[in-house]
């Protein structure tokens, strides 16, 4: 039987999770690798059962309590990342507070104390209405350069240039067929270089020539919502949609 690296990794998680469950059934409290395997396997199986990302994450978060693991585990494992295959493709699931927020209490060594008066999120976001004109659900992940998102999503591409979704890292937004969803966007940080994605940019986001070329490529390839001056394409989503 030929297995891909992803399939081999999935079997490794399952095997580790089964061993951890057997030990738990004998009354043993789980260590870090065992707890991580159980939660990861639970998320992957939830995806296989047809659950959505948020539902799979919730199931993973509920499978173990602090009583099921060794005392230090909730302080050591504060977030679990696992790639799972959902009905609409492979997506990164991020299980924050996997034991119900039991980790890093005020007295825990090395704990970081946060001032709850500070807003940890972005100070401002751009809000755009996005319509899925296709016949299938489309999901866009948190890190994706939103300007380069699926061509069948109709929104103001020029306004979305250089931004990503204002959602927690590792999460995503789902657009059902025919639905219009308002999303918040924030500027991409760091060095602001976009490489990969849909291949529309592949360069520094703040370079005017790169931006103009990206808009031209998007219009040329039929991305809805591209109405940049000097680029072929419609001035509104409906007119462009009629040609698809």
Tens of pLDDT, residue by residue over 145-203, are: 999 999 999 999 999 999 999 887 777 888 999 999 999 999 998 889 998 888 899 89
Neighbour order of strands in the sheet with 180-187: 153-154, 126-132, 180-187, 163-165
Backbone angles phi and psi of 175, in degrees to 5: -115, 110
* Tens-digit pLDDT profile for residues 21-62: 999 999 999 999 999 999 999 999 999 999 999 899 999 999
Q: What is the pTM of this model?
A: 0.49
Three-state DSSP at 226 gives coil
Q: What is the CA radius of gyration of the chain?
A: 22
Is residue 137 over pLDDT 60? yes
CA distance 141 to 91: 8
Residue 154: strand pairing partners: 131
């Amino acid at each position: 039987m030929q297995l891909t690296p992803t399939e081999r990794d999935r079997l490794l998680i399952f095997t580790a999770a089964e061993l951890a469950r057997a030990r738990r059934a004998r009354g043993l409290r789980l260590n870090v690798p065992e707890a991580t395997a159980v939660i990861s396997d639970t998320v992957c199986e939830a995806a296989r059962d047809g659950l959505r990302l948020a539902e799979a994450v919730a199931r993973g978060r509920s499978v173990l309590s602090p009583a099921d693991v060794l005392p230090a585990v909730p302080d050591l494992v504060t977030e679990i990342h696992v790639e799972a295959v959902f009905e609409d493709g492979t997506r990164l699931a991020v299980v924050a507070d996997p034991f119900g927020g039991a980790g890093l209490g005020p007295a825990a060594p090395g704990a970081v104390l946060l001032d709850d008066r500070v807003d940890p999120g972005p100070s401002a976001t751009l809000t755009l209405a996005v319509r899925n004109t296709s016949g299938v659900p489309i999901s866009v992940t948190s890190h994706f350069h939103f300007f380069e998102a699926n061509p069948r999503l109709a929104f103001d591409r020029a306004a979305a240039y250089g931004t990503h979704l204002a959602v927690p890292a590792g999460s995503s937004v789902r657009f059902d067929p025919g639905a219009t969803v308002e999303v918040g966007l924030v500027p991409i940080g760091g060095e602001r270089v976009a490489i990969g994605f849909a291949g529309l940019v592949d360069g520094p986001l703040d370079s005017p020539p790169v931006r103009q070329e990206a808009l031209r490529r998007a219009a040329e390839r039929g991305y809805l919502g591209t109405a940049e001056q000097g680029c072929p394409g419609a001035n509104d989503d409906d007119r462009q949609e009629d040609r698809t």
